Amino acid sequence: MSAEKLIRGKVAVVTGASRGIGFAIARRLGQMGARVSICGRDAAKLEESAATLRSDGIEIIAAVADVAREDQILSFVQKAQNDFGPIDILVNNAGIGLFGPFHECSEADWDRVMDTNLKSVFLMSRAVVPEMIRRQTGHIINISSLAGKNTFSNGAIYCASKWGLMGFSGSMAEDLRSYGIRVSAICPGSVATEFSGQSKKDPDKALQADDIAHAVAALVTQSAGSFISEVHIRPTRKP
């Protein structure tokens, strides 16, 4: 059986998918035959992205949702399940970056980054896991960062959120593996996408969003008897 056939007809949810890495992941999974539900906070951009995916023949649902809000997450998940069926694949991609010396950041900055990068993964995963447990199958992929393995100046809050995500992902995997649910974390290096607080990257010395989508495709087509818990992706040429 080809890798693509392994997920044909499966239901996938991708957060933060109106642009960048999330959009590339949604497109890749859709091209492989998955039925994809995406969410984002920018209604106009989200609909534009959904229209592009539909023009490629991808079955798509798009819903405006703030992944830091439990009520909006539950509504989004319910819509995906009602329209497409039980969720097989969850990609927690939504994330933001706020950078600067930690002592110059505000409490609101801390809350915004932690809510989007870490709390959202808890809320989204908790919303889909009961049905995955009932069906004894599922794959959850958390898009982290090499900043979850390393530290750098002006990145204290961002690094804290991603280090937390790595710890959370590892514990999630242990909690869920006995139910046949696989949890993986992908840690990209520098990616040539729009990302708040970061300067423009040299595209010749950065990863592309499709590189992350390729890793997601590899994870979800792995044989059921094993899973890759952590993937590091770096550009060949150092930025």
Handedness of CA 119, 128, 185, 191 (dihedral sign): negative
Whether residue 179 lies in the annotated active site: no
Burial of 174 per CB tally in 10 Å (0-12, 13-18, 19+):
exposed
**DSSP characters for 202-230?**
-GGGSB-HHHHHHHHHHHHTS-TT----E
| Distance in angstroms (rounded) separating the CA atoms of residues 217 and 224 | 14
Among residues 23, 76, 84, 158, which one is catalytic? 158
Task: Identify any residues that bridge with 13 across adjacent strands, giving them in sequence order.
Answer: 37, 90
Strand boundaries in 74-199, DSSP class E? 89-92, 138-143, 181-188
| Distance in angstroms (rounded) separating the CA atoms of residues 198 and 192 | 10
Residues that are catalytic: 158
